[in-house]
Amino acid sequence: MRLGVIDVGSNTVHLLVMDAHPGACPLPAYSHKAELRLAELLDADGAIGDTGVDRLVATLQEAVLVAEDKGVEDVLPFATSAIREASNGEKVLRRIAQETGVTLRVLSGEDEARLTFLAARRWFGWSAGRLLVLDIGGGSLEVAYGLDEQPDVAASLPLGAGRLTASDLPGDPPEPDDVRALRKRVRAEIARVVSDFTRFGSPDHVVGTSKTFKQLARIAGAARSADGLYVQRELSRRALEEWVPRLAAMSTGERAALPGVSEGRARQLLAGALVAEGAMDLFGADTLEICPWALREGVILRRLDHLPPA
């Protein structure tokens, strides 16, 4: 069957169409996305402004039409931290439902972490052993650890690259004092939860998902996305430690010229790098492997798990 996932994230609204059947590997058929950067559109009261809501409604209407054009049988729409934490989130959800017919399921941060973990587990398989999965979104950092398909422990922290850029790095390039203060803040937040994970023992495999990790790996020398899903891509903490000061000294335009960095994500890359470096350091990970699957694939896999046998 052809399934569609509409992911209303902090950076983008992304429709992913996949051909999926129970017991088979879901195959991507079509991808359609629009960059809204909702995490950066919150007003002083934490609400998504009228302009942001108008753009979101229009983008969802377009995504629904695209899904119909591509023959999608079932659409699974969900939202993450930008809607979850907006002070007017319920009002936004009602307007979306009225004007688009889309009822968004708002995932908790722990739901995000668990579904992303499921995707990583299915991708790497049982032989990967105990997984530590790190996912940096626009609004939050998700961390999950475990041996099975459900993690033993999962956490969500307000350390998304978009959120931190908007709140802590106003300059272009940012002031050194602002970078230092953000580095301190990020590490303090992560340190609060480290013991919840380390008491389960050391992971056998550390995994990074999300666009932020993919872009950081690419600028550090990993293979291009054009080289295919099945090429192994890694990111080392040593490479991050070398790149963070370089990114801090760059303007947004200079970052956008780096290999694999999109113009829309370039401004957020430094904040994402600070979170990635802090997480790898505090969790004791020298290297992590990039997983092509993440939250959207986890949502589809969970849906397939609940289908009756053919």
Model pLDDT for residues 166-175, shown as the tens digit of each residue: 999 999 999 9
Q: In which order are the strands placed within the sheet that holds 12-19? A: 27-35, 12-19, 2-8, 74-79, 105-106
- What is the per-residue pLDDT for 309? 65
Q: Residue 47, class by beta-carbon neighbours within 10 Å (0-12 exposed, 13-18 middle, 19+ buried)?
A: middle
What pLDDT score was predicted for residue 310?
Answer: 59
pLDDT at 23: 83
> What pLDDT was estimated at residue 38?
81
Residue reference for tokens 């402004």: 49
- 11 burial (CB, 10 Å; 0-12 / 13-18 / 19+) is buried
pLDDT of residue 147: 97
Sign of CA dihedral 67, 83, 144, 228: positive
pLDDT digit string, tens, across residues 42-52: 787 889 988 88
CA distances from 181 to 174, 193, 201 (A): 11, 20, 31
Element (H, E) at 299: helix 295-305
According to the model, what pLDDT value does residue 11 have?
84
Give the C-alpha separation, 174 to 116, whole Å.
31
Please write the tens of the pLDDT for every residue from 190-228.
Answer: 999 999 999 999 999 999 999 999 999 999 999 999 999
What are the residues whose beta carbons fall under 8 Å from the beta carbon of 131, sequence distance 6 or more? Answer: 117, 120, 121, 124, 144, 145, 146, 147, 151, 203, 204, 205, 206, 207
- Nearest Cα neighbor of 107 from 149, 78, 82 is 78
Q: For residues 128 and 113, is the Cβ–Cβ distance under 8 A?
A: no
Confidence at residue 21, expressed as pLDDT on a 0 to 100 scale:
86
* Ranges under pLDDT 70 in the chain: 309-310
The domains located in the chain, with CATH, are 2-106 (3.30.420.40), 109-295 (3.30.420.150)
